[in-house]
Copies of this chain bind each other. A is one copy, B any other.
Amino acid sequence: MSVVDAAASVFCREGYAGANIDLIAAEAGVSRQTVYNHHGDKENLFVAVVRDLTERCNAGIFATIATFPDQPTDLEADLIAFAVRMNRNCICNRDGRFLRKLIQAEGERYPELFAEWRGQGPGRTWSALAARFARLAFAGHLSIGDPDVAARQFLALVNAELQITFMLGGVPTEEEVLRSAANGVRTFLGAFAKKKLPAGKQAALAHA
């Protein structure tokens, strides 16, 4: 394991103040001196960790957004699969969990560092996702007012059932991820799908 990876792990587990360079070195399988040779001091190492995580997470998020179902065959199934990919590859994986925890724990201590993350991460990824939803709406698959709002709500919904697990730093099971995504997408489509009433109901309405 590289020094930065080990440092990420220890910073997350112990917090910045509680992280101990000897432990990081041991976990990385190098001597303490090597850590100092490579990264100067603790703060420097921390910044390197956050930059590394931010970069990898963003890459993962964009790669996943690239798999967005632009021409869905089964919209519900395709969106659920997309949501599961998003969760598995970006939010529940090692980098995602670590970055989230570091932002929450140390965000106030390094305003400029996390402002950078905010601009390059959520800022760009959310509008990229919003663009995909806008395209789905334009193609007639959805009925969306504000695509940015819809994108944020999509993410909120498919993660709704995982919040507590995330809070306590746990990793949801594959089944939990799937259930949360399925429930979230169903509600999302309930709100944003073009309404095509099933034949029975449509007939009932016609005769009302």
| A203→B159 CA distance, assembly (Å) | 38
Cβ contact within 8 Å between B167 and A100: yes
Query: How far, in angstroms, from A15 to B192 measured CA to CA in the complex?
Result: 42
Closest 4 CB pairs of A and B: A17-B18, A190-B191, A156-B160, A15-B15
CB-CB under 8 A from A188, the residues of chain B are 187, 191
Give chain B nearest CB distance to A183 CB in angstroms.
5
Q: Mark A183-208, 1 if CB is under 8 A from B, else 0.
A: 11001101110010100001001101
6 further A-B pairs in the complex, CB-CB below 8 A; given A103-B167, A114-B168, A187-B188: A14-B17, A152-B163, A153-B183, A187-B192, A190-B192, A206-B206
Contacts of A18 in B (CB 8 A): 15-18
A17 / chain B contacts, CB cutoff of 8 Å: 14-15, 17-18
